[in-house]
Chain A
Amino acid sequence: MDDLRLTERDVTSQDAKIAAKNVQVYYGDTHAIKDVSVEIKDKTVTAFIGPSGCGKSTFLRCLNRMNDTIDICRVEGDIRIDGEDIYDKRIDPVQLRAKVGMVFQKPNPFPKSIYDNIAYGPRIHGLAKNKADLDVIVEKSLRRGAIWDEVKDRLNAPGTGLSGGQQQRLCIARAIATEPEVLLMDEPCSALDPIATAQVEELIDELRENYSVVIVTHSMQQAARVSQKTAFFHLGNLVEYGETGQIFTNPSDPRTESYITGRIG
């Protein structure tokens, strides 16, 4: 099975984890994403930037089919992860979301203990055979979420009792506990102070070793700091996509330049 996928991946594209072609998204009559095509590489941090309301979150939510939960939302086009069309009828979005984890803008830990927050995903996916396995997964995830040292003595305390930055790192740890291959982050630092932001950014950089990370951010400094690839969205269009350094120093589209220099937005 795995082998099959590997060969398939080789055939379709060299190291593109996600390939989106001609994606259109409508909210009722609103055309929110207009014909976007993009290839997101494996083991890379890709940043989506753009003025608010331009469709960054909408596009991000297409990648794990979270838009399915919005009744009026309609997605057209072709999005493939490892060459498999995720909008295919045979794909179960629940299974997809185990493979494509998500971290939300507002930290949203479950109102349960820190331990249960992390253990929930592995439990429902049957990743642990017994309590000892689960303990290992919880510790590993919390360590990779760079929050283990802060919470190891109070794993039974409620996750909602942590500070905002800790909660967000808990949510990241929760997202990676299910061993996803792609991690989607929608403005993960917008509710955090500069110190917590720095911790999360450091964490994102480490996560790149194992995951393909897509991060939406409204801070261009953040995009410049953490990402290798940047996509600039404007009014539902993907205006420019390329190496982060090139986008920030030498954008080819005047709209990108206006945005980066602070004239749009």
Chain B
Amino acid sequence: MTDASMDAAGAPDAPKKSSLMKTDEHTKKRNRSETWFRAYGLAAIATGLFFLIVLAVSIVSNGLPAFTHTVVDVEINMTQDQYDDAESQLLKTSAYEKVFIAAMGAQLAAGGLELEVDKKVLQRIAGKTGSILREFYKENPDKIGTPVSFTLPAASRVDQYLNGALKREDVQDSRFLERADLDIVDQLHEAGIIKSAFNWTFIQGTDSGVDNPGGAGIGASVIGSFFMMLVVLFLSLPIGVAASIYLEEFAPQNRFTDLIEVNISNLAAVPSIVFGILGLAVFIQFMHLPQSAPLVGGLVLTLMTLPTIIISTRASLKAVPPSIRDAALGVGASKMQSVFHHVLPLAMPGILTGTIIGLAQALGETAPLLLIGMVGFVARGYPDGFVNGFIEPNSAMPAQIYTWAARADVSFYDKAWGGIIILLVFLLTMNTIAIILRRRFERRW
């Protein structure tokens, strides 16, 4: 048979002679279409890159101001008399504010600044100093009578003015800030009394009231997200992987398993808000789990993440060559041994990548959290203790960002952008871990 075909090839009809030096029409056409395709590809990538850069630049430029804030340095020596006096007053914080203003005035005079500064102006510039001072002295009564240097946050409008978000022309005279105040701000800024500093409050703090954008921080909701992701990880990874292994390796192929398969694919496409309302109905209204709790958020996000994990795990199990299973069965391994000793290790990089991508999706998910109440003023405090972290009302990063973006005071807008940067940092970290794990597991062979 092979001989026959060789004969046929050996005695062909003499073909027309054509030079290889000349490209024929057909080849030219193929080359042209390839060139076009390459051009399309490049254009697509360039467009993608362009939008990515625009996104990154706008996030960074809008978000960075949230990480710095304007502070006022002042040294205060609170005497016992002043303290008692302030505590006996009706408006205690304003009494403390007076102490602050007096100290500021003294400091300006000592610094040789020839400023005719009105008390009211200092009050407007310095923001909510009274409550901070009062809290400090209530907690540290031993500091009464000794000089203490304070670094107090300036009013948020001063902050915006100094970082360029608020233009002098746009300032409307109001009880918060008058245009004339800005001259004094400039002078204080030059003298180094008002300066920019890294805003630890934003990283560590909790959500603040609507009138205090300067005090708002994302820390508590980072913790909320953390506990939520713990729930998601410890539920969805084992359940998802076990379900996939069963479906892929053990389950018989029949109508029933086909139905399950179709349903899992459908679940992956269900909008997240549907899971949210399901969580509200089942976990909160029916099972009476606490509202706004990271536990409930985690449960809802687990439901959402499971299909993703199952689909990617099954895909990576499918990608393991069947010859490996045959090899294991052939030396007398049981089905389970063949799966756990040989198939699973090979599928591991894919499983981990899928899981981390699923978790990253869950981390950025907002809609279901709105429905179970992890939004609003719930991130006002840190949970006390590990167990309470799961059940105490808290927010999560994306929900906190949503809350800030929805507030009337534009100063919260900066915070929302800053929160997005933090969220993206976490997401990028997770993706990097996914890549590293993938490399680590693949490099073995």
Binding site for B on A (CB under 8 A): 64, 66, 69, 71, 94-95, 97-99, 101-104, 106, 108-112, 120-121, 124-125, 158, 160, 171, 174-175, 177-178, 262, 265
Contact = CB atoms under 8 A, between A and B. Distances in A.
Given A108-B324, A110-B324, A158-B445, A102 B346 contact: no
Contact of B326 (A104, A121, A262): A104
A125 B332 contact: yes
Contacts of A158: 445
B330 A110 contact: no
A111 B341 CA distance: 11
Given A110-B342, A111-B445, A97 B332 contact: yes
Given A71-B253, A160-B445, A102 B342 contact: no
A120 B326 contact: no
Of the candidates B325, B326, B328, B330, the one having the most CB atoms from chain A within 10 angstroms of its own CB is: B330
Contacts of B334: 94
A104 B330 contact: yes
Nearest to A158: B445
Contacts of B321: 108
Contacts, number: 71
A94 to B, nearest CB: 5
Given A110-B324, A110-B342, A111-B445, A102 B1 contact: no
Nearest to B327: A108
A98 B327 contact: no
Contact of B332 (A69, A106, A112, A124): A124
A121 B445 contact: no
B331 interface: yes
B330 A124 contact: no
A75 to B, nearest CB: 16
Contacts of A125: 332
A57 to B, nearest CB: 12
Contacts of B333: 94, 120-121, 124
Nearest to A116: B341
A69 to B, nearest CB: 7
B329 interface: yes
B174 interface: no
Nearest to B320: A111
B252 A98 contact: no
Interface in B331-363: 331-334, 337, 341-342, 346
Contact of B327 (A64, A124, A171): A171
Interface string B225-242: 000000000000000000
B339 to A, nearest CB: 12
Contacts of B331: 97-98, 101, 120-121, 124, 174-175, 177-178
B445 A66 contact: no
A253 B324 CA distance: 39
13 contacts: A64-B330, A94-B332, A101-B330, A104-B323, A111-B444, A112-B445, A124-B333, A160-B445, A171-B327, A174-B331, A175-B330, A178-B332, A265-B1
B327 A97 contact: no
A102 B323 CA distance: 12
Contacts of B329: 66, 69, 94, 97
Contacts of A106: 323
A114 to B, nearest CB: 12
Nearest to A71: B253
Contacts of B330: 64, 66, 97, 101-104, 175
Of the candidates B325, B329, B332, B337, the one having the most CB atoms from chain A within 10 angstroms of its own CB is: B332
Given A108-B327, A121-B332, A124-B341, 19 more contacts: A95-B332, A97-B329, A97-B330, A97-B332, A99-B332, A102-B326, A104-B330, A108-B323, A110-B327, A111-B324, A111-B346, A111-B445, A112-B445, A124-B333, A160-B445, A174-B327, A175-B331, A177-B331, A178-B331
Contact of A110 (B1, B252, B328, B332): B328
A174 B330 CA distance: 10
Contacts of A69: 325-326, 329
A95 B333 CA distance: 9
